[in-house]
Amino acid sequence: MNVYRHEVKYYECDRMGITHHSNYVRFMEEARVDWMDQLGYGFDRMEAEGVVSPVVSVECVYKHPTTFKDVVEIEVKVAEMSPLKITFGYTMRVGDKLVCTGRSVHCFFENGRPVKLAERFPQLYEGVLNSLTC
């Protein structure tokens, strides 16, 4: 999978000139959506088929600040997977410098009920499994 790149915008910085901490969660979401698109089964397709994927939990560990115009490269990997949930891991870098690591846990619902990914979207499930072995 290709690394996702996000150029820090001016409005994403605080008065001290560094990227506001809340933006890293948004960067993770952008990268996750891109990762799913690369897999060939984006969130837009899932939602068109009636399945939503809420965030169960999210965490960020900040290592080094970023600033306006920095290009943050975000690597997305599946850290854990169960029949009902996927945990994504994120590594964010500017060049060789580690700036943030994170995790987000997601489940899948259709009509208010949990969905087993392997049963509802076998192609997506196989794609995720294949990404684990790469």
In degrees, rounded to 5, the angle at the alpha carbon of residue 107 between the alpha carbons of residues 28 and 2 is 35
Strand partners, 18: 67
Could you report the per-residue pLDDT of 57-97, keeping only the tens digit for each?
A: 999 999 999 999 999 999 999 999 888 899 999 999 999 99
Could you report the per-residue pLDDT of 36-51, keeping only the tens digit for each?
A: 999 888 889 889 989 9
| Residues with Cβ within 8 Å of residue 1, at least 6 apart in sequence | 35, 38, 39, 76, 131, 134
Instruction: Give alpha helix (H) positions in 1-134.
Output: 23-39, 43-48, 117-120, 122-133
Residue 8 has pLDDT above 90, yes or no: yes
**For the chain, which residues make up each domain, given as ranges?**
4-133
Q: Residues of the chain with pLDDT > 90: what percent? A: 75
- Domain 4-133 sits in CATH at 3.10.129.10
pLDDT number for residue 133: 58
Residue 131 has pLDDT above 80, yes or no: no
Least confident of 20-24, 45-49, 120-124: 120-124
CA 133/CA 1 separation, integer angstroms: 12
Choice between 46 and 105, residue whose per-residue pLDDT is larger: 105
pLDDT number for residue 54: 93
